[in-house]
Amino acid sequence: MGAADMPAKELTGQLKAAGFPAGSALTGADGAVRVIVGPYPGDATLAEARSRLEAAGYRVIRSW
């Protein structure tokens, strides 16, 4: 999650520029755009990506 007023397109661009595989999708009944980072092939790479995201100032809402 980026800043509250940041458009999903801008957040996706920032993540890609930082080397993260990122995309966005319109999902759910609320009409919100979700920014998705990944996929990662295993728990170790997922944990490392989560740490890098948090160190860069992003808040990870959910990982699975």
User: Facing residues of 33 across strands?
Assistant: 26
pTM (predicted TM-score): 0.81
Q: Which residues pair with 34 in a beta bridge?
A: 25
In a domain, 33, yes or no: yes
3-state secondary structure of 49: helix
Whether 63 maps to a domain, the answer reads: no
pLDDT at 1: 62
* Tokens found for residue 45: 């790479």
Residue 24 lies in a domain: yes
pLDDT per residue rounded down to tens, the chain (64 residues): 666 678 899 999 999 999 999 999 887 788 788 899 999 999 999 999 999 999 999 988 887 6
Residue 20 lies in a domain: yes
Length of the chain: 64
Q: Which helix (H) or strand (E) holds 50?
A: helix 43-55
Is residue 60 a part of any domain in this protein? no
pLDDT given for residue 52 in this prediction:
95
Within a domain: 26: yes
Domain encompassing residue 22:
8-55
In-domain check, residue 30:
yes
pLDDT of the residue at 3: 67
Q: Evaluate whether residue 35 is within a structural domain.
A: yes
Q: How many domains does the chain have?
A: 1
